[in-house]
Amino acid sequence: MKRGAPAALFGAALALGACAGGGTSLEGWEIIGVIDGDTLRARVASLPSSIAEVHVRVKGIDTPEKGGHASCERERELASRADAFTRAKIKGAQQVALRNFEWDKYGGRVLAEVLVDGQSLAGLLLANGLAQPYFGGTKPNWCFSPERGRRDGRGA
């Protein structure tokens, strides 16, 4: 397969999903996992199996980074809570819908509003203090704790 073929096939699947859902939802996309608090893994039925798995980032928010990507212990702890929250919501959902989708700025993921049983996953994460609004640019600093008056979560 030529280098641009997977992207072209994926673009076609995105377009087909747009047509099937009136331009606002993705039909035939199954959520098969959670990467972290703001990123899901989906399988696209209309794509060949070798490229059918797609990462879907929740539009409009940023959750803390996990593991070695975290800047401090506080961020790791919050990331663990955000991840567990998203996993529980997806696992317990009767329906997960994706809508108002677009390519993310890197082109390798899809940005979408994620609805879990009709509720915005972004809104739920924000309401529980597990996400901050994010629409590009500089990411939020998860290591600043106003109540503790320090930046790195370790007391420095």
CA dist 106 and 38 (Å) reads 16
- Predicted confidence (pLDDT) per residue in 30-87, tens digit: 999 999 999 999 999 988 999 899 999 999 999 999 988 888 999 999 999 999 999 9
Given a contact cutoff of 8 angstroms between Cβ atoms, the answer to whether 39 and 108 are in contact is: no
- Give residues with Cβ within 8 angstroms of 10, minimum separation 6: 44, 47, 51, 54
Pairing between β-strand 109-116 and β-strand 119-120 as defined by DSSP bridges: antiparallel
> For residue 25, what is the DSSP state?
B
Question: Does any domain span residue 96?
Answer: yes
CATH of the domain at 18: 2.40.50.90
Q: Which residues pair with 54 in a beta bridge?
A: 42
Domain total in the chain = 1
Structural domain including 107 reads 5-133
153 class by beta-carbon count within 10 Å (0-12 exposed, 13-18 middle, 19+ buried) = buried
Higher pLDDT, 64 or 7: 64
Question: Does any domain span residue 79?
Answer: yes
Question: Does any domain span residue 148?
Answer: no
Question: Does any domain span residue 117?
Answer: yes
Higher pLDDT, 123 or 135: 123
22 class by beta-carbon count within 10 Å (0-12 exposed, 13-18 middle, 19+ buried) = exposed
Of 55-69, 98-112, 138-152, the poorest mean pLDDT is in 138-152
134-140 long-range contacts (CB < 8 A, ≥24 apart) are 134/60, 134/61, 134/62, 135/60, 136/105, 139/62, 140/62
Q: Is pTM beyond 0.85 here?
A: no
Question: Does any domain span residue 149?
Answer: no
Question: Does any domain span residue 11?
Answer: yes
State residue 26's pLDDT score: 61
